[in-house]
Structure 1
Amino acid sequence: MKRWVYLLTSAILLTLLVGWYTANANTDLSNSEEPIELWYLKSETPLSLSDVYENDNVQWQRLDSARASFGYTRDEYWLRLFIDAKDYDRVLHVGYPLIDELDIYWVQPETIKTYELGDRQPYYERPILTSEFSVPLPAGESGTLYMSARTESSMRLPVSIRSEQRFFDAQMQKRLAEGIYFGVLLCMAVYNLFGFVASREPEFGLYSLYTLFFGGLMLSLDGLGFRYLWPDSLFLQDKGIPIFGSLTFLTAALFAYQLLRLKEYRTTLARGLFVMAGLSVLTFLVAIFASYRVSIHVLLVMAAPGCLFLLIVGAYLWRKGLVYARMFTIAWGTLLLSVMANSLGYLGVIDSMFIQRHAIMLGSGIEILLLSWVLAVRYNEQRREKLEAQERYNEELEGRVEERTFELQIALRELQDVNTELEKRNFEDSLTGLYNRRYFTQQLEKEYRRAFRNQRPLSLLMVDIDHFKKVNDTHGHFIGDQILQGLASVLKQSAKRPGDIVCRYGGEEFAIILADSLQEQAEAFAESLVKRVRKTRFATDSGARNITISVGVAELDSAAGQSTERLFKAADEALYRAKREGRDQVVTV
């Protein structure tokens, strides 16, 4: 009787899953409401907007569809499309959430709007908060839109334009459909977790973990994890797919080993599951320490053979006459087909966003429901045997739990060490060895609060190398990097006080925070710095070079309640006054 209850429950959940699939078929955001004519440009080196906008020698190539797909590549791709004015608000949507860097430039007659997107940018800085990438197209505006993309994932750029109302309607329907899918996964995870608590059978616990990790993988694939669960974690967004993918295969191998009792039938296949688990651990380590490009290829190489091996295991036990092995084989066969379709989509073999984004969801949903049913049947058949051996099994289980807890503690300590090292690197500019812009922002706020609280002076210097673009254009970026390193050394040597903080703000621009310094003191320091740089000959591979710098100086007016933004803006304006008025000088405000 209980078996029919499980079958009925699975049938209901499958019906909901089919409803999800149908809803997504009608709300695919990669289908554009308006006809789009895309042109693309491939470059092995990074280009700027001026390189492609003002250069008549750029050879644009026309795309056959609005769903650009270039597979895994290290090249930078530019897209161009012309947007006509409409009398209603629209949204331009790039329906792929795994692009590392996506810069969008909307060139209009009077202005250029720039959007810096990508999953390496903080989520809440997006102009429209969606799991993919969207920018508004206000009514009555037209122009030429350029997009540059760089990614370690598959280079897929499905572009669509919809009216604002239809876009958000489709988003709502898509979220509802995805809610059904992840609701099914959560129900299965909680249901089997309760089964584990009630029965103490490890199959239930492993299957619950498997379902959760698979849910994490799908959240990473669809960009929903970055939107709802870890919007402030760029590390997890970058590593989520290989991390959750490797953990999914690890728990799948352990679950299959525990469920099927292969050691009672064929030890060779049982060892194969351990090999699969070991490879999953290695894949997990690769996911943490290697780049995304390396780890995702390792995961994709392991995914299809791993599913195929589990399929072989199920088929072998099916031939042995085990009833539940039939459903196990069908479940893994369904997932294998969906994983293969998804992998081919990422590799650019299948040019179908719908297959890539939904096949694995549909296949995994069916597979998870069927495996849950298999688990229930297996548990009922083995219940008497388990009850007879309960005491012995509990002792073995306790030992395994202690061992896994110890391994987890070791892994957590190692992960903590890695996170500490990554946090240190996050505050360091890799070229100059100075603090980076992120550290500058945090430290300026900290010094501002201290100065405001203690009513102490605080000065800020913004430093920029004069005519640095000419140096790069004439001698190359390598020589420019050597000059940047030399100037960084001079700045660091000049700022001798413990409270002086030197940061590379970006490009050829540097920032120096001078705590407990009045404007007169900061100006004197800046003047000496300008003179020292003017007299210094910087060693490069093309010979010694002289440069000059311009400096803007501003002091915090804490009595007037001046903010860090006002202070930075004042120093920045002073810097650009110095450049406008002849460079190689200091300007104060």
Structure 2
Amino acid sequence: MKCWLNLIFLFIFTCSSTCFGEVIIDQPTQRVLIGYGLERYMGKGEPNFADTSASSFQSLESKVPNLGISPTDIWFRLPVTNKGKEKLELLLEIAYPLLDEVELFVPSSNGHYKSIKLGEHQSFSARKYKVPNYAFDIQLPGYEKTIFFLRVKSTEQIILPIYLSNERSFLKEMNDDSLISGIYIGIVGIMAIYNLFLFFSVRERGYLYYVLYVLCAGITQMGIKGYSFQYLWPNWTYFATKGPIIFGCLSGLCALLFADSFLQLPKNAPRSRRVITAFIILFVVGSLLTLLNLTQPAFMVMQLTTGAGSLFVLYLSYRVMINGYKPAKYFVYGWTILLLGSVVFLLKDYGILKYNDFTSNAVQIASVVEMALLSFGLAYSINILKEEKEASQVRELAISLENEKLIREQNIVLEQKVDERTRELTESNESLQTTLTHLKETQSQLVEAEKMASLGQLTAGVAHEINNPINFVTSNVAPLKRDIKMIWETLEEVERIAFKEGISETEKQLQIKKFKEDLDIDYLKTEVDFLLKGMHDGAHRTAEIVKSLRIFSRVDEVTLKLADL
């Protein structure tokens, strides 16, 4: 064990040992890392170029300076000496696309400095070299030292891998990097599409969370490499600085949801879900802070939550694995490889490991391995579920056969008991039938007797009810005849007076009026109306009684009739 530790420390020391000093160039044919020649402005405040060009600078003594997060612009001086006699036309490349603004001050022939500004605040089409890294054309006169000034601003971590190369070496390196990133994107796309089809086939939520995690993680890695800005939103400068943070938060959130589903935390570690929920809330807060233009706090929230959440999920997966959940081993292996790749990437950023193609792409390589292992783990968990389902079906089939046997035996016993009970019921039924016949005969006799008694009561009641209204009619006949006789006499008297000769019309009217007053014709009218009304009421009540009797007897109704339900 001690020998292995010594080898690791020796490897780190060898990779990190670097000679610092002045940048001297002599016909470079390869891409040269020159970050060790950078000098940082140590003044206070936010100076402009005139302030910094006349101030003192301090050497950073690092091949790839890592300056952390800064809320203000950072100024650098870069002296480069051309040791040859020929004028060199080279490219100064800053291989860190996450910088928001990069401004290079290049000396011109008249002794003044010319500013060349690049960054994510400009659309991608404005760049001369259509690559994610920042590239500047510079000229180095022979046998001279040329001093360049550099201003850098970023909401994320500021890392400065600065290279000098000719155009051919630069383009070759960019093509190689694009090829590696293209392979990575292709693998991510294949994994996402394949597992999406599996999700539609098995309808397991773990596959959906895996697809979302793979897509967000892939876009995040492409954002770190600068390809998201180049291909996804080249003209959307607002989202260029926010995209990596937002998709970093989304990839972390989807990873937590996938871990919760894959490791079956509700069953295997229910208490840990509160911590998982807290991490998810922090990722959502980071996304909201980004949308509110608080990008530096959002980056810090995303970075801290990702680190703490990754370690916590690794611990959870290891605990679930040792508790006997077999698919968790794939998660442990994949997550461990991803964290190791992230550690290599961070050690490269802090200058502990050498800055090369392997360390620069360590996270992508580890991410591909991790995605493959997680995909295998999903398939393995589905196979385990399938085996458990098949075993459960076998158990259920055995139980079903046993139940069927018991049911057949119980049916035989039940049939015997049913036959015995049927015989008993038949005998009891015959006895009851005889008793019922006697009861029916007795009931018929009682009903007939009751009918006759009821009929007598009904007849007396009907006679009484009809007699009352008939009395109305008979009692009013004599007065009505008298009143009608008086009416006829009145008519005869009016006729006699009307045809009487020798008197005037006025005299006739006076005689008729006097006769009507003597007869009290108004009272006569009232009495006739009263008598007729009494006779009408008696007749109506008689008709109603007859109608009720007809309804009761139902002698004039058809068999079927409509009814309002």
TM-score category (smaller protein): 0.5 to 0.7
Is the Cα contact below 8 Å between 2:34 and 2:162 reproduced in 1? no
Letter in 1 for 2:212: L
* Residues 388-467 of structure 1: pairs in structure 2 closer than 5 A: none
The CA distance in 1 between the partners of 2:154 and 2:30, in whole Å, is: 19
- How far is the alpha carbon of 1:261 from its aligned partner? 1.8
Q: Distance in 2 between matches of 1:359 and 1:322?
A: 29
Matched, 1:81 2:82: no
What is the CA–CA distance in structure 1 between the aligned matches of 2:207 and 2:344, rounded to whole Å?
Answer: 29
1:366-385 map, 5 Å: 366-383=369-386
Q: Does 1:101 align with 2:101?
A: yes
1:64-213, aligned counterparts within 5 Å?
64-83=61-80, 84=82, 86-87=86-87, 89-110=89-110, 112-137=113-138, 143-213=146-216
Equivalent residue in structure 1 for 2:226, among 213, 223, 232: 223
Query: How much does 1:292 deviate?
Result: 1.7
Structure with greater Cα Rg:
2
Distance 1:266 1:234 in 2: 43
Q: Distance in 2 between matches of 1:336 and 1:185?
A: 18
Which amino acid in the other structure matches residue 381 of structure 2? R
SS of aligned partner of 1:323: coil
**Once the 2 structures are TM-superposed, how far is the Cα of residue 362 of structure 1 from its aligned partner?**
2.3
In structure 2, the CA distance between the partners of 1:330 and 1:149, relative to structure 1 (3 Å rule), is same
CA distance in 2, matches of 1:324, 1:293: 38
Cα RMSD after superposing both structures: 2.9
Unaligned runs of 5+ in 2: 1-28, 393-565
Q: Is the 8 A contact 1:206 1:255 kept in 2?
A: yes
Deviations 1:124-177 (A, max 9, x none): 222322101101235868743211112222222222110111111111111111
Aligned position for 1:38: 38
How much has 1:119 moved relative to structure 2? 1.9
Instruction: Kindly state the Cα deviation for residue 52 of structure 1 after the two structures are TM-superposed.
Output: 2.8
Taking structure 1 as reference, are residues 295 and 33 closer, same or farther at Cα in structure 2, changes over 3 Å only? Answer: closer
2:362 — aligned with what? Answer: 359
CA contact (8 A) 2:340 2:366 kept: yes
- Contact kept in structure 2, 1:30 and 1:353, CA below 8 Å: no
State the distance in 2 between where 1:386 and 1:282 align.
41
Letter aligned with residue 235 of structure 1: Y
> Measured at CA, do residues 317 and 356 of structure 1 come closer, stay the same or move farther in structure 2, by a change above 3 Å?
same
Q: What percentage of aligned pairs have identical amino acids?
A: 25
User: What is the Cα deviation at residue 295 of structure 1?
Assistant: 0.7
Residues 36 and 61, structure 2, Cα contact 8 Å, conserved in 1:
no
Cα distance change, pair 34–204 in 1 and its aligned pair in 2 (3 A): closer
Q: Could you say if the C-alpha distance between residues 240 and 44 of structure 1 is closer, same or farther in structure 2, counting changes exceeding 3 Å?
A: farther
The alpha-carbon deviation at position 351 of structure 1 amounts to 7.3
SS of structure 1 residue aligned to 2:324: coil
Paired residue type of 1:275: A
Question: Any stretches of 5+ residues in structure 1 without a counterpart?
Answer: 1-28, 390-589
Q: 2 CA distance for matches of 1:88 and 1:189?
A: 47
- Report the TM-score when normalising by structure 2: 0.58
Summarize the Cα distance change of 1:187–1:35 in structure 2 as closer, same or farther, 3 Å threshold: closer
Once residues 193 and 86 of structure 2 are traced to their aligned partners in structure 1, the CA distance between those partners, rounded to angstroms, is 49
Counterpart residue number, 2:528 = none
Residues 257 and 269 of structure 1: is their aligned pair in 2 closer, same or farther, counting only changes over 3 Å?
A: same
State the Cα distance separating 1:376 from its structure 2 match.
0.9
Distance 1:340 1:279, change over 3 A: farther
CA distance in 2, matches of 1:66, 1:256: 38
The code of the aligned residue for 1:291 comes to: L
Question: What is the SS of the residue equivalent to 2:120?
Answer: coil
Counterparts of 1:46 and 1:245 in 2: how far apart (Å)?
30
Q: Is the 8 A contact 1:68 1:156 kept in 2?
A: yes
Q: 1:330 to 1:220 in 2, by over 3 A?
A: same
CA shift, 1:121, in A, is 2.3
Mapped contact 1:327–1:370 kept (Cα < 8 A): yes
- Taking structure 1 as reference, are residues 150 and 351 closer, same or farther at Cα in structure 2, changes over 3 Å only? farther
Change (3 A) 1:270 1:65: closer
For residue 319 of structure 1, the aligned residue among 318, 322, 332 is: 322
Structure number with the higher helix fraction is: 2
What is residue 521 of structure 2 aligned with on the other side? none
Q: CA separation of 1:361/1:228 partners in 2, compared to 1, >3 Å: closer, same or farther?
A: same
Shift of 1:123: 1.8
Q: 1:75 to 1:281 in 2, by over 3 A?
A: closer
Q: Deviation of residue 230 (structure 1)? A: 0.9
Match of 2:305 among 292, 302, 321: 302
Aligned-partner SS, 1:322: coil
Relative to 1, partners in 2 of residues 1:31 and 1:89: Cα closer, same or farther, differing over 3 Å? Answer: closer
In structure 2, C-alpha distance between the alignment counterparts of 1:270 and 1:306, rounded to whole Å: 12
Alignment match, 1:526: none
Q: Single out whichever of 283-292 and 178-187 deviates more from structure 2.
A: 283-292
Task: Write out per-residue CA displacement over residues 81-130 of structure 1, whole angstroms, 9 at most, x where no aligned residue.
Answer: 23437455421101111112211111123364321112222222223221
Q: Distance in 2 between matches of 1:35 and 1:151?
A: 18
Quick one: structure 1 residues 316 and 277, their matched pair in 2 at CA, closer, same or farther if it must change by over 3 Å? same
Match of 1:454 in 2: none
Deviations 1:252-292 (A, max 9, x none): 11112222222223311244333333332223222322522
SS at match of 1:79: strand
Q: 1:171 to 1:295 in 2, by over 3 A?
A: same
**Counterpart secondary structure, 2:114:** strand
- The one-letter amino acid of 1:48's match is N
Judged with a 3 Å threshold, the aligned counterparts in structure 2 of structure 1 residues 41 and 31 are, in CA distance, closer, same or farther, namely farther
8 Å contact from structure 1 (residues 36, 81) kept in 2: no
Pair 160,271 (structure 1): closer, same or farther in 2 beyond 3 Å: same
Instruction: Give the counterpart letter for 2:137 in structure 1.
Output: P
Measure the CA separation in 2 of the matches of 1:52 and 1:319: 59
Worse overlay, 359-368 or 157-166: 359-368
Q: Does 1:258 align with 2:255?
A: no
AA of the residue aligned to 1:60: F
Tell me by how many angstroms 1:301 deviates.
0.9
Q: 1:64 to 1:277 in 2, by over 3 A?
A: closer
Distance in 1 of aligned mates of 2:86 and 2:369:
44
Residue 63 of structure 1 corresponds to which residue in structure 2? 60
